[in-house]
Amino acid sequence: MKKKYDIVIIGGGPAGLAAAISAYDHGVQDVLILEREENLGGILNQCIHNGFGLTRFKESLTGPEYAWRFIDGVRERKIETLVSTTVLSVSRDKQVTAINERDGVFTIQAKAIVLAMGCRERSKGALNVAGTRPAGLYSAGTAQKYVNMKGYLPGQKVVILGSGDIGLIMARRMTLEGAKVLAVCEIMPFSSGLKRNIAQCLDDFNIPLYLNHTITKIEGKERVTGVVISKVDENKRPIVGTQRYIECDTVLFSVGLIPENELTKSAGVPLSLKTKGAIVYQNRETLIDGIFACGNVLQVHDLVDFVSEEAETAGVGAAEYVLYGNREKDVIDCKNGQNVSYVLPQKIDRNQKGIVKLYFRVTNTFKNCVIKLKSGEKVLTERKKRIAVPGEMESFLLTEELLAAVNGEIELSLEC
């Protein structure tokens, strides 16, 4: 097998596929995609519901349909792919060591690498719920895989902890397949899921959503027999006396996603504590030359449409690195100010031309506020915002003109 490639892409989900296509179309055709699952497409394969692609394709696609638009694109270009192949490590000099059944352990030297490993679900272990550990506890994504990809229904009477989108989608999915979803508990005063999913997944089927509630105990020896849910105070501590027992045989956890950055760390790529992904420039190059990152491994996105967009940026960045080598940078640091939990990219290279789309998330729900972009004490520009919520990623466009006026660093804040 070939041991040298211009670009190696780690992960064959939506980010990896889009990055490969854009790198190829930008003039670098010696590209390899490494995917650990049997099939390309990543998590989209199990997201059989519709609602994907409205921004990009102006139509409502299911996850697999969205994935196939890109898999077809990879196949048309005859881009090389290796599936059922797990990457074991990535080094800072761009060597990728992987393993599969056919080739054993092997190392590939790349000129540029695109990290597109996606994210994983936060596990119940990370939550520290009291009680026993019987069968019947699943992450929402695992349940989704069982129902949609394997054709098994994991349980009949279900309580869901967390109101993230996957949890909401699974509430509907399990209801359609004949299970009874008794409650969705959300510890926060608001759902982190999209509003349309509250409407079409819970309200459509009269599934109750309990805000400011959490599971305080799981009961059952061999199999879950029930849970105790409690109301929480403003510090998210359970309030004594509000406990309620719900009989159930299944508990799903939909409590957030964590970028899967073990390989990023193995290459010594510096990570941001806020996004839990790599620190990047606007072309999605990390602080190690020639290593790029995009999609959910970089920041957890709400919509796959934006994953594709970001991956295309990274693909172009990687192709340019291969074609033109490392170029000198003129760096502006981007900081998150008041009421903003993070901004991405964290660094802007002024030598790269074009408009920069600065992504950010806010820390709470804000109404009638103003987004302000400052450099030092100087307000560069501002924009009114009717409503901003933590569950929805926001963006702000920075023109070259605007960036020319910046000295050293910029700060994005939200003021009410």
Partner 1 sequence: METKKLTCIECPIGCEMEVGVEDGKVVFVKGNSCPRGKMYAENEVVCPKRVLTSSIRARSGEMVSVKTDQPIEKAKIFEIMEKINRTTCDLPVKVGDIVYEKIDGKANLIATTNVGV
Give residues in contact with partner 1 (CB under 8 A).
45, 48-51, 54, 60-65, 68, 147-151, 176-177, 194-196, 198-200, 203-204, 302-303, 392
- The tokens of 225 are what? 């027999």
For partner 1, which is the closer residue by CB, 133 or 180?
180
For partner 1, which is the closer residue by CB, 198 or 294?
198
Residue 12 CB, shortest distance to partner 1, in Å, is 15
- The tokens of 60 are what? 């409502």
For partner 1, which is the closer residue by CB, 71 or 229?
71
> What is the maximum alpha-carbon separation in the chain?
66
User: DSSP label at 244?
Assistant: E
For partner 1, which is the closer residue by CB, 177 or 382?
177
For partner 1, which is the closer residue by CB, 147 or 300?
147
Q: In what order do the strands lie in the sheet with 378-388?
A: 347-349, 331-336, 409-415, 366-375, 378-388
Residue 236 CB, shortest distance to partner 1, in Å, is 25
Residue 284 CB, shortest distance to partner 1, in Å, is 23
Residue 370 CB, shortest distance to partner 1, in Å, is 20
3-state secondary structure of 118: coil
Contact 247, 225 (CB under 8 A): yes
**N- to C-terminal Cα distance for the chain?**
59
For partner 1, which is the closer residue by CB, 29 or 39?
39
For partner 1, which is the closer residue by CB, 50 or 266?
50
Burial state string for 47-64 with b = 16 or more CB within 10 A and e = fewer than 16: bbbebbbeebeeeebbbb
Residue 302 CB, shortest distance to partner 1, in Å, is 7
Query: What string of H, E and C letters represents the secondary structure of 269-333?
Result: CCECCCCCCECECCCCEECCCCEEECHHHCCCCCCHHHHHHHHHHHHHHHHHHHHHCCCCCCEEE
Contact 77, 24 (CB under 8 A): yes
Residue 61 CB, shortest distance to partner 1, in Å, is 8
Residue 173 CB, shortest distance to partner 1, in Å, is 8
